[in-house]
Chain A
Amino acid sequence: MSHQDELPVNRAILAVRDLEKSFDGVCALHGVSLELRAGEVHAIVGENGAGKSTLTKIITGAIQADAGSIEVRGHSIERNDPNVSRALGIAAIYQQPALFPHLTVAENIALPMEMGSSRQTVNWKSRNRRATSLVESFGATIDPRRLAGTLSMADQQIVEIAKAVGADAKILLMDEPTAVLTEREVERVFALIRRLKADGTGILYISHRLEEILAIADRITVLRDGHRVACRNAAEVGRSELIEMMVGRSIASVYPKRPVPIGNVALEVRGLSNEREGLRDISFAVRAGEIFGLTGMVGAGRTTLARTLFGLAPAPSDVFLAGRPHRIHSPADAMRFGIGYVPEDRRRNGVILEMEVAGNISLANLKSVSRRGLVSARSERELAVRYVERLRIKTPSIATAAGKLSGGNQQKVALARWLATRPRVLILDEPTQGVDVGSKAEIHELIVDLAERGMAILLISSELPEILGMCDRIGVFNAGRLAGILASSEATQPRIMSLALGHG
């Protein structure tokens, strides 16, 4: 099935052949080959650990392959490193924008090309000019003198792309570039990608979002356990077929939502505002057993609402829990009132990577595993084992550092921590972001299971199919307000989009 990519070599601007790479005897890549043509979007899909990031790292020269060759425009690279690859016009964009927060936008765009040149000085005027024209050509307006750290995630990602384009990159590696973006921002990035394509840039596109891949890619290479499983034209494959190739089995139902009996109101806010964080006049109620979706642009107020409810950004408004008014000043308050919060950005906020799995799970439950302020190692162990089993967390031991687990299992650890607090209301912020397909399904299953047991769930997501497939009702944010609440029966992708864009 993998013979369709035997295309004329001369059209490939990048060709890797028979790459082998292992770490400490564990094989990460097994003779992987692929070709990228000019003006092509070539997607790479695969579960976490399939070898996608190893492949990109070898191409950018961050690490060296054990065997195999890399050719750029027909020239074989003897010894690759980041400088060599950049000089050859290869640029990479990662999931988290890798910008210098203290430096200006113009400088962020200019530095990579300057580092490649032999000039020892920098020219600020031309830097600013060039940055302005680049950013404007993307249809964005960003002051080139602003510090990159003060930009929104989407703007940062746009600066990342401008950086690559500015460096005259002909080969662009994009590793989950839309992970932190909302649908509308994704559209902006896609428009950009199409433009780059038209200019003859070849793009290697890595993503977990299959809808996106099917929308933007020309060809798709599937990796599994370090092997190339297939390389297909995007037009010829479907979603389910892709999933099957990625996981090596078929996954029956994508969203396992089941109707469950809805109980009493668990959490209600009436006219909640958080002026400092730009949140205005939010009113809604979530009932036990209900999955309430929250969507909208990043920065429209979804995460701010979660942070407000969890006491991380306290607001001078009451929150009604089971009908009683409470004022939440701190996470400790929120926890006392039965609210749990699994944040987005799992690696930074969700789990503590260097801490062992057991410690991570017990971190929000120290009260329940301790007596008179002293932690009982035994209760802690039991708690951890219970949840490792219940969530089927794949870990060699509960004493393993959470950072060693795969993204999906890390996310399960974060979930376990909050499930163990037995919350009445659980806020899940992008729970499946950057999680491989298998784990994603398991997490969805778990959410439904929780709802079934009577937990009220607030599910924040940018992925509309997930929102549509999982939620009973959907609240759509626009510019700090709740633009509308839709029942799942009346919700469609276009309706949500128009609400999110303020055309409600």
Chain B
Amino acid sequence: MNSLLKLRIPAAARLPVTLPLSGSERWLLGALFAEIVFFSAAAREFFGWTNFFEVLRFSVELGLLSVALTPILITGGIDLSVGSTVGLTAVAMGAAWRDFHGSIAAAVALALLVGCACGAVNGLFIGGLRLPPLIVTLGTYTLYRGIAEGITHGAVSYTGFPARFLFLGQGYLWRAIPAQLPILVMFAIGYWVLLHRSVIGRGLYAIGLNEPGARYAGIPIRRHLVLLYLLSGFVSGLAGIILVAHLGLAKPDLGTGYELEAITAIVLGGTSVFGGRGTLFGSLLGLFFLTILQGGMHLLALPSELTGVLTGLLLLVIVSLDQIGAASRLRQFFGARPGRFAATRAATAAAFVLVLLTAAGYALMSHSRRSGGALASTGTISAGRRYVIAVMPKAKGDPYFKSAGAGAEEAARELGVDLIWDGPTNLDPSQQNEIVENWITMRVDAIVAAVANSGSMSTVLRKARQHGIPVLTWDSDATPDARDFFLNQATPEGIAATLTDEAERLMPRGGQFAIITGPLSAENQNEWIQCVRNELARRHSRLTLATVRPSDDDRDKAFLETQTILKMLPNVKLVMDLSAPAVPGSAEAVAQSGRTDVDVIGTSLPSICRPYIHAGTVPSIVLWNVHDLGYLTVYAGWLDAQHRIAPGSTSIEAGRLGRLEVRGTEVVLGKPMVIDKTNIDRLNF
């Protein structure tokens, strides 16, 4: 037989045992290599084991999702609900741990069970009832996230997990390897075997290439699909648990947007969304490409949003390059295809790729020019003792933090320090951690962070301090042991007191009011709401809080919510907005309704409320001087970097802000201001 095999069908016998790299995999491998070379050259800290493992740590959760999604895409399906499943299992885990006093093992088991249940629902609809996966998981994407928010009332976030559980997300094996990495490796191998070596895997490719054909070959399609979606739920649940251990907290919004990131990685890796084509190896390549891009951009102190722009462009470039290859392959495959056509297409694709690459290059260049050469100066951190102060807003693309950023830049110019101003571009709580990790690798001179989730950020900030980097917090605090000082613009109690005082002033005879908050799961705002409730109980018994509605920091949503409140609760005479974009939204809704008996107050920026304050719809807003706060971040960071704020001192000298009081470990900026008609035009933020 063997000799026959060789003699008679020489080429035929060479059925590819290991699949050779596909077109897009080759392109991607090249791009990955180029990326590593580029970042190694540009950022000294990039190339090394420590950074390598840190990068890997951040790719575990997303990696698990990509691994689970790859075979689903290969069958021609999709699972948009994985990110929501992460959130739901995280919350289930937290609730089980805290509310039911279970053992941690029982909590983990329950969370995995919830993950399986999520997957089972998808599997039942898709595999059992044969509904289109896109629609089903679009529904469960909303459903699972909704259940997570419902269980926690958006507000609860669970912390205080035992150390041996947190080790899973934060610890090291043999002092170097992130503890969660072996799990990813294990699942990657398992899925690789499933997809590329097992009987089931053959069936999955067959389903993706030609479903009726697979059925006629006796492949149990329903069973395979149910299994895949079930597994996807299980793995998402596991990713959720690891994320909880990684961040040290469980919140309903964990995993937001992960589904698209995972799909981006998989598609980059050459898997076809139409099914039948793709490999697990490609998906992992895509994942590493994206994670390295993200990390590298942070190390170069380039803004996070540029990563998004580049990801989008590179996705198009790599897919187009693959298209060029595919065009020539296609020509071989269907001999009948006119060659000229394929050639034109390849040429178009090539031209397009060139245009995109030029655009990407231009974007990078113009940015480095704009930011005054942050790229160049990172190399001279220690040489010229030009201090690098890294300041993190809670979110980029928010007008509040944009104003603070302007203040920070002013201080940076004044002091002659390099300012890195970067923060998350989405709601994903792990993004802040990731950026700080990169700053640690970069060895910046001081980190000044506005903490979105104190539970998750405290850990990484502590790590920064262990590495000898001075850490300050601003806007909202971490746990006290995680930072040197907190730049306190106003305490939640202070804000709540000022707001309720304003409410009482506007409604002297008492009455109902409504609160519109940011996202339901925003930690900061939830604390404020609690303080407002306390204030009501303590001092303002005639005021009643009628309802709390979310605005998701979206002006238009706040507008619609306010309209609904006005109609449904006609006795509400005041709307209190705890999110900056919500105030103009509510004000516009009140103005358009023609109701003159309803006032809008809240915490917001003068710049976006100015017309409404002048018109009287918004009698006042409560805020501190954001511009000054931004100024203080850099100034205090600069002082701390030189160890010029002694522990125990009672005041600091902060440039044009003058002498500021220090209470314990909190630098007090001043009281919140009540901004109204009389003083708004004097404020420039």
Binding site for B on A (CB under 8 A): 23-24, 26, 28, 53-54, 57, 63-64, 312, 330-332, 334-335, 341, 343, 348-356, 358-359, 362-364, 366-367, 370, 373-375, 377, 380-382, 384-386, 388-389, 395-401, 403-404, 417
Contact = CB atoms under 8 A, between A and B. Distances in A.
A274 to B, nearest CB: 17
Nearest to A403: B333
Given A381-B13, A397-B11, A417-B217, 4 more contacts: A350-B216, A396-B12, A397-B13, A399-B11
Nearest to A380: B15
B142 interface: no
B656 to A, nearest CB: 69
A208 B554 CA distance: 66
Interface string B270-298: 00000010000000000000000000000
A7 B126 CA distance: 63
B213 A381 contact: no
Contact of A377 (B1, B9, B17, B193): B17
Given A63-B336, A375-B199, A397-B14, A364 B218 contact: yes
B609 to A, nearest CB: 51
Nearest to A312: B215
B202 A362 contact: yes
B199 A332 contact: no
Contacts of B372: none
Given A23-B336, A352-B206, A373-B198, A385 B216 contact: no
12 contacts: A57-B336, A330-B220, A331-B220, A335-B218, A349-B213, A352-B209, A373-B198, A373-B199, A374-B197, A374-B199, A381-B13, A381-B15
B332 interface: yes
Contact of B199 (A341, A367, A377): A367
A381 B4 CA distance: 12
Nearest to B201: A375
Contacts of A349: 212-213, 215-216
A370 B199 contact: yes
Contacts of A330: 220
Interface string B182-221: 0000000000010001111111011001101111111110
3 closest A-B pairs by CB: A331-B218, A397-B12, A366-B199
Interface in B1-58: 1, 4-5, 8-9, 11-17
Contacts of A377: 15, 17
A26 B335 contact: yes
B332 A24 contact: yes
Contact of A398 (B13, B17, B217, B333): B13
Interface in B154-204: 193, 197-203
Contacts of A367: 199
B128 interface: no
Contact of B220 (A63, A332, A403): A332
Nearest to B328: A24
Contacts of B332: 24
Contact of A395 (B12, B17, B193, B220): B12
A145 B582 CA distance: 52
Instruction: Report which residue of B16, B210, B219, B333 has the largest number of chain A beta carbons within 10 angstroms of its beta carbon.
Output: B210
Given A348-B210, A363-B206, A385-B9, A404 B333 contact: yes
B614 interface: no
Given A331-B218, A332-B220, A388 B12 contact: yes
Interface in B110-146: none
Given A24-B335, A335-B218, A385-B5, A398 B200 contact: no
A53 B220 CA distance: 36
Nearest to A335: B218
Nearest to B10: A397
Instruction: Report which residue of A64, A380, A397 has the largest number of chain B beta carbons within 10 angstroms of its beta carbon.
Output: A397
A377 B216 CA distance: 23
B397 interface: no
B339 interface: yes
Nearest to B8: A389
A330 B223 CA distance: 12
B465 interface: no
Nearest to B1: A382
Contacts of B213: 348-352
A387 B426 CA distance: 56
A330 B214 CA distance: 13
A453 B314 CA distance: 59
Instruction: Report which residue of B210, B218, B333, B337 has the largest number of chain A beta carbons within 10 angstroms of its beta carbon.
Output: B218
Contacts of A331: 215-220
B356 to A, nearest CB: 29
A455 B646 CA distance: 94
A385 B12 CA distance: 8
A363 B12 contact: no
A212 B220 CA distance: 40
B551 to A, nearest CB: 42
Contacts of A335: 218
B331 interface: yes
A388 B333 contact: no
Contacts of A403: 333
B661 to A, nearest CB: 70
A352 to B, nearest CB: 5
A399 B11 CA distance: 8
A375 B216 contact: no
A393 B15 CA distance: 16
Given A23-B339, A331-B215, A399-B15, A375 B202 contact: yes
Nearest to A342: B216
Contacts of A396: 11-12
Contacts of B335: 23-24, 26, 28
Contacts of A375: 197-199, 201-202
Nearest to B216: A349
A385 B16 CA distance: 14
Nearest to A429: B216
A129 B400 CA distance: 66
Contacts of B570: none
Contacts of A381: 5, 13, 15
A237 to B, nearest CB: 29
B328 to A, nearest CB: 10
B511 to A, nearest CB: 58
B338 interface: yes
B277 to A, nearest CB: 8
A397 B16 CA distance: 11
Contacts of B337: 23
A358 B209 CA distance: 15
Instruction: Report which residue of B5, B15, B201 has the largest number of chain A beta carbons within 10 angstroms of its beta carbon.
Output: B15
Given A330-B220, A389-B8, A399-B15, A63 B210 contact: no
B276 A354 contact: yes
Contacts of A359: 202, 205-206
Given A362-B202, A403-B333, A404-B333, A334 B218 contact: yes
B1 A399 contact: no
Contacts of A57: 336
Contacts of B202: 359, 362-363, 366, 375
Contact of A374 (B15, B16, B198, B338): B198
Contacts of B200: 373
Contacts of A386: 1
Nearest to B197: A374
A315 B244 CA distance: 50
A417 to B, nearest CB: 7
A341 B206 contact: no
Interface string B389-429: 00000000000000000000000000000000000000000
Contacts of B9: 385, 388-389, 397-398
Contacts of B214: 352, 363
A312 B11 CA distance: 37
A352 B15 contact: no
Nearest to B14: A399
A313 to B, nearest CB: 11
A54 B334 CA distance: 12
